[in-house]
Amino acid sequence: MDIEALIKNYVEQGYVLIPEVFCHVPSFNDLLDEGAEPFYEQDQSTLRSLYGFHNNPQFTAWIEKQRLLCEITQRILGDQVYLHQTKVNIKNQQESSVWPFHRDFPFWKVFDYFPENCFLNAVVYLDDVHEGSGELEVIPGSHREFLDREANEHTDYSLEGSASSDLLFSFSEEEKSYFQHKYGLEKTTGPKGSLLLFDPNLIHGSGVSYRDFSRKIMILTFNACSNLPSNDSPRPVYLCNTDRTPIAWKN
């Protein structure tokens, strides 16, 4: 794999999709232990996301063996890393499972008090992700341009606003059209085991699924260990992990 080209793409476009990187990925059932936090759709019964499995033994055994993630995170973030957030998003065939277009970093800046974006999102495909299955869509290059109104955006924390389809920090249709018209829109479909890396300032979102209930993606948010918050986050540790011990990668 040409890591240099991959990093160049990530820096320029704000994302890079590498098909079929992992021949083995953690099973969703393994992650569903008592330490993980489920989040439900508005009907209060359909599982939307599972958060906070960074201490799950099956998951830790898997992540510690991922040398590619070790190399990429250390090259891009220039430091040892820990997992700020771990989650699996499940795409259901219903309106409420959409993710409005947004950036991720404002959540960590405003609610978790991290001044710098020294974060990286790694999305591991736990299922094949087909077009029409509510695949993640990204606006290439949008991580470099910000609207004036974003400079001092401030809003109060709410759990709903952090994890539901009624998401805080999302863009209006008009704003999304502005970015889309300027930069285009890419669908990130790919087989199970693919890896999508994206800058947390990249604008992204996903629509409803017209297919089935099976699309699951695991989003791992790495932070550089030297990137410290200026205050304590009001959010639970499954949204903002306070254990900043570096990942003990295995050779």
Ligand X SMILES: O=C(O)CCC(=O)C(=O)O
Q: Would you count residue 136 as binding ligand X (CB under 6 A)?
A: yes
Q: Would you count residue 89 as binding ligand X (CB under 6 A)?
A: yes
Q: Would you count residue 104 as binding ligand X (CB under 6 A)?
A: yes
CA 150 to centroid of chain Cα atoms: 20
How far is residue 116 from each of residues 77, 109, 113, 155, 176, measured CA to CA in Å? 11, 7, 9, 18, 24
State the minimum distance, in angstroms, from the CB of residue 248 to ligand X. Answer: 26
Q: Would you count residue 109 as binding ligand X (CB under 6 A)?
A: no
Q: Which tokens is 185 given?
A: 């829109």
State the minimum distance, in angstroms, from the CB of residue 104 to ligand X. Answer: 5
Stretch that binds ligand X, among 26-34, 35-43, 200-208, 237-245 (CB under 6 A): 200-208
Q: Would you count residue 206 as binding ligand X (CB under 6 A)?
A: yes
Nearer to ligand X, 56 or 89 (CB): 89
Q: Provide the strand spans (E) within the chain.
A: 15-18, 37-40, 47-51, 81-90, 99-102, 119-125, 136-138, 186-187, 195-198, 204-206, 216-224
Nearer to ligand X, 50 or 224 (CB): 50
Q: Would you count residue 164 as binding ligand X (CB under 6 A)?
A: no
Nearer to ligand X, 14 or 205 (CB): 205
State the minimum distance, in angstroms, from the CB of residue 181 to ligand X. Answer: 21
* 3-state DSSP percent of the chain in helix, strand and coil, to 5: 25, 25, 50
Interface residue with ligand X among 39, 99, 119, 222 (CB under 6 A) is: 99
Stretch that binds ligand X, among 29-37, 144-152, 201-209, 237-245 (CB under 6 A): 201-209
Query: 79-113: string of b/e by CB count within 10 Å (b at 16+)?
Result: ebbbbbbbbbbbbbbbeebbbbbbbbbbbbbbbbe
Q: Would you count residue 22 as binding ligand X (CB under 6 A)?
A: no
Stretch that binds ligand X, among 8-16, 73-81, 204-212, 241-249 (CB under 6 A): 204-212
Nearer to ligand X, 99 or 111 (CB): 99
Q: How far apart are CA 29 and CA 46, in angstroms?
A: 16
Q: How far apart are CA 247 and CA 251, in angstroms?
A: 12
Tell me how many degrees the CA angle 232-237-239 measures, rounded to the nearest 5. 95
Interface residue with ligand X among 204, 220, 227, 238 (CB under 6 A) is: 204
CA 251 to centroid of chain Cα atoms: 26
Stretch that binds ligand X, among 11-19, 140-148, 198-206, 231-239 (CB under 6 A): 198-206
Q: Which residues bind ligand X (CB under 6 A)?
A: 89, 99, 104, 136, 204-206, 217, 219
